[in-house]
Amino acid sequence: MSTNSLMEDKQAGEATAIIRSPANLALIKYWGKSDPEKNFPANDSLSFVFESFWTQCEISTHSHTTSDVWQLFEYTDKELFQPLNPTPNFFEKGKKQLERIRLACGDARALTIKIGNNFPHGCGIASSASSMSALTTAALSAYTRSNSMQQLASHGWPLGKVAALSRLGSGSACRSFLPGFSWWERGDSPESQSVSSIEVHPDLQIMDTLVLVSSTPKEVPSSTGHLSAFTSPLYSPRLEAIPERIALCQSYMLENSFDQLGSLCEQEALDLHAIAMSATPSANYLLPKTSDILTWVRKQRKSSGIRFYFTLDAGANVHILSRTEDSETVKNLVNRSFPALDLMQSGVGSGIKWMDKADWPRSEHPNFDSLKRTEGQQVYGV
């Protein structure tokens, strides 16, 4: 791990840490909580981290003042960050998370926090997972002067503990740490949750083509949807089916059975939305264009012979999963049928990273080859 990634102003005793944390996409979704305070999920989930959709967070300690300085940046096009008018929801969550971090590490020093995504936030692309994991890891790194997961561990913050603290800000944040595919197991209690790496077939190379139907933050945040999920009559049958689905999903990934995996992902996404719609209060995250695209995916799959499948988070944007070798064709097909919609593509990534430098407010698309990668443990409690 680079020695430059934590920049220290030794005279002033201050430190800066820069973290880039990926968003992640659940194939088997986390929906509903058994304990909302501790973010104890009602079910296990399986996901992968994105290579190209991330939150970057730069945090510096500053002892000379008592108030934090927040600078937020947002995606405006594929290569540009600009100052953000934060959604009240993000600010509320971020500040609350900072309070938790201070309490947990017993350091009350004020911070300057620069944070931004390279994709739209609050519209179903797991920005809370990437932002809460980035914020938590950057703040802990600055407070403890750590520049790697190993150093954090040596200061009393092993990966499981960092992920568990991130999880309190956003449940799915605990799935943004490890490379590749992860399994978040709920365990028997909030304290016994864990995340582990999943082995997949080496030829299972997946690309996500994200179709941006809307970049407007959704009206009902996921946190609200989680709370009402159990009121849906479809919810108990879903919870009963989850262990079998988790096992199936893992075996399809290990066997490289892409078609079976894709069908399972579609079923999962539709389940989540059926539950959201049939809950009280009901939430409809889908827009008319979303439904058009879902229908189109199934029709095109038949007529083109190219194997691609949809999944959705709690938002209107559609994730189209294909084998990497088919992703250019998929992109062209979507572009031809929906020329007005923006597309973003990402493969499977390598988890959270410490960065040597961050360019604010303008930042070019990442060159992942030059970045440092964490070599975290493969299993951790959260």
Nearest distance from C-beta of residue 61 to ligand PMV, angstroms: 28
Provide the binding-site residues for ligand PMV, judged by CB under 6 A.
Answer: 26, 29-31, 45, 126, 128-129, 170-172, 222-223, 226, 313-314
Q: State which H helix or E strand residue 367 sits in.
A: none
* Residue-wise burial string across 25-51, b where 16 or more C-beta atoms lie within 10 A, e elsewhere: bbbbbbbbbeeeebbbbbbbbbbbbbb
Q: Quick one: how far is CA 127 from the chain centroid? A: 6
Cα 231 to the center of its chain, rounded Å: 26
Pairing of strands 110-117, 69-77: parallel
- State the Cα–Cα distance between residues 305 and 76, nearest whole angstrom: 35
Q: Specify the residue, 19 or 26, whose C-beta has the smaller distance to ligand PMV.
A: 26
Q: How far is the CB of 213 from ligand PMV (least distance, A)?
A: 16
Q: Which is nearer to ligand PMV, 22 or 147 (CB)?
A: 22
State which residue, 314 or 334, has the beta carbon closest to ligand PMV: 314
> Between residues 16 and 193, which has the closer beta carbon with respect to ligand PMV?
193
Q: Which is nearer to ligand PMV, 125 or 159 (CB)?
A: 125
92 vs 375 by CB, closer to ligand PMV = 92
237, 249, 285, 319, 376 from 234: Cα distances, Å: 6, 21, 17, 23, 38
> In whole angstroms, what is the distance from residue 70 CA to residue 94 CA?
10
DSSP 291-329: HHHHHHHHHHHHHH---EEEE--SSS-EEEEEEGGGHHH
Q: Measured from the CB atom, is 31 or 75 closer to ligand PMV? A: 31
**HEC assignment per residue over 79-106:** CEEEECCCCHHHHHHHHHHHHHHHHHHC
Complex with ligand PMV: residue 119 or 354, whichever CB lies closer? 119
Q: C-beta of 105: minimal distance to ligand PMV in Å?
A: 23
Instruction: Tell me the closest approach of the beta carbon of residue 170 to ligand PMV, in angstroms.
Output: 4
Q: Is 184 helix (H, G, I), strand (E, B) or coil?
A: strand
Least distance (Å) between residue 319 CB and ligand PMV:
11
- Cα–Cα dist 230/258, whole Å: 31
Q: Is there a contact between 109 and 63 (Cβ–Cβ < 8 Å)? A: yes
- Min dist CB 284 to ligand PMV, Å, is 14
Shortest distance in whole angstroms from residue 107 CB to ligand PMV? 26
Q: How far is the CB of 89 from ligand PMV (least distance, A)?
A: 11
Of 366, 364, 360, nearest to 83 (Cα)?
Answer: 360
